[in-house]
Amino acid sequence: MLGYVVAYRPEMKVREAELYKAYYCGVCKSIGRRYGQIPRMVLSYDAAFLAVVLDCLDDEGENLSREGCIINPVKKKAIAYSDAIDFAADVMLILAWYKLADDIRDEGNKKAQAISSMMKGRFEKLKSARPELCTRIEENLSGLTSLEEKKCASIDAAAEAFAKIMETIFSEGLKTVSVRCDIKESEIILSRVGYHLGKWIYLMDAYDDIEENIESGAYNPLLYRFEYKDEGATAFRERIKEDVERNLVIYLSEIAKAFDLLDIKKNRGIIENIVYVGLLKKTEEVLGKEEKGEDDND
């Protein structure tokens, strides 16, 4: 997850905004408590969304504490604790590790190499704790790497690997929470959420990175699917925007349909804000239809 899955703060109720931030801070605390301070740099609100969704199936009240944090140890803020939060923290670090490996492979990024060296021991700990999750992610990333090496021009084929990764994450995450619901049905629904969210994230990232990928020569399926002709990034973006937007809206529609089937017991307001408003606003922002507005990265 790459920082695209965020709420739209102006339309959140005060309590929901505070609880959403408590989940975010909970993920941050979980990382610091179990893996030290350095890995906290990869934190994003994507992890908070994963934790909020997994916890929504549990009708027990939130486990909240008021504590200081590394940024402001004096001011007390709400911090949420749950198994889902610990799982989301682990997922954040696992994906960050593989993203670093991808940056090193594609661009020989020295900063990524330095961070990767610092995180190696922590990743080994994660791999021992979540072996099945790491194995399945590695398998799908291997398939994606193969497609990248072949300069695959199919957006669906390239996005499939990341979609399967997200499908796995949501499905595996269900095993970490205690729920009184139809597990099989919930797993099918959450797998569908993860799958289409993965497609949306992959395409968003590809469109967002057009300029950078043209300059660096890194693989981007959009450059091959729409046959980039050295017309410049801005002109290319405009030429393909309508097609990209159509696919992104389809993915968002499928995500929303899946959530409509989920037996949500709590966090409904936060989830609906992100799914029905936040993701759409972020889509419009990346497509250049509106200026970057207020998000939750504070």
Each residue's pLDDT tens digit, 46-71: 999 999 999 998 878 788 999 887 77
Tell me the residue type at 7: A
Cα–Cα distance for residue pair 290/292, rounded to 1 Å: 6
Domain assignment present for residue 73? The answer is: yes
Domain membership flag for residue 43: yes
CA 7 to chain CA centroid, Å, is 13
For residues 174-195, average pLDDT: 85
CB atoms within 10 A of CB 46: 22
Inform me whether the pLDDT recorded for 221 exceeds 90: yes
Q: For residue 255, what are the domain limits?
A: 9-287
- Is 70 within a domain? yes
Burial (Cβ within 10 Å: 0-12, 13-18, ≥19) of residue 223? buried
> Does residue 296 lie within any of the structural domains?
no
Residue 34, class by beta-carbon neighbours within 10 Å (0-12 exposed, 13-18 middle, 19+ buried)? Answer: middle
Please check whether residue 295 lies inside any domain of the structure.
no
- 226-252: pLDDT as tens digits: 999 999 999 999 999 999 999 999 999
Q: What is the CATH number of the domain that holds 137?
A: 1.10.600.10
pLDDT of 255-279, one tens digit each?
A: 999 999 998 999 999 999 999 999 9
Domains: count for the chain? 1
14-41 pLDDT tens trace = 999 999 999 999 999 999 888 887 777 7
pLDDT reading at 297 higher than 50: no
Query: Whole-angstrom Cα distance, residue 199 to residue 170?
Result: 14
pLDDT of the residue at 296? 47
The answer to whether position 298 is within a domain reads no
Could you tell me if residue 53 is inside a domain? yes
79 within domain boundaries? yes
